[in-house]
């Protein structure tokens, strides 16, 4: 499985990423999001560390908010990782 990590300070920026993830040809992933609120202070490094501790995937992918990826991106990452294991 793939763990996709997205730390963000802008909730609206999650929508384009979510739309791309919804149409992936490989749906064997978890999407972990940490939304920080600037008025409460935000530290994206701490958010990333929290997500890394929760991640269950063998492969970690970091996508920023507002990121769009092709619908074969996760499939391609998994294929490249399996080729590297051989």
Residue 45 tokens read as 């490094």
Whether 63 shows a pLDDT value over 80: the answer reads yes
Task: Provide the whole-model pTM.
Answer: 0.88
Name the burial class of residue 50, with classes exposed (0-12), middle (13-18) and buried (19+) by CB atoms within 10 angstroms of its CB.
middle
Handedness of CA 32, 62, 25, 55 (dihedral sign): negative
| Structure confidence at residue 35 (pLDDT) | 87
| Structure confidence at residue 46 (pLDDT) | 84
Rounded to an integer, the average pLDDT of 12-31 is 97
């Amino acid at each position: 499985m793939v763990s996709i990590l997205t730390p963000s300070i802008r909730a609206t920026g999650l929508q384009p990423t979510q739309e791309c993830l919804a149409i992936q040809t490989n749906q064997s992933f978890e999407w972990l999001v940490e939304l920080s609120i600037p008025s409460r202070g935000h530290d994206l490094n701490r958010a990333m560390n929290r997500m890394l501790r929760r991640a269950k995937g063998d492969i970690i992918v970091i996508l920023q908010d507002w990121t769009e990826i092709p619908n074969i991106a996760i499939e391609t990452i998994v294929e490249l990782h399996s080729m590297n294991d051989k």
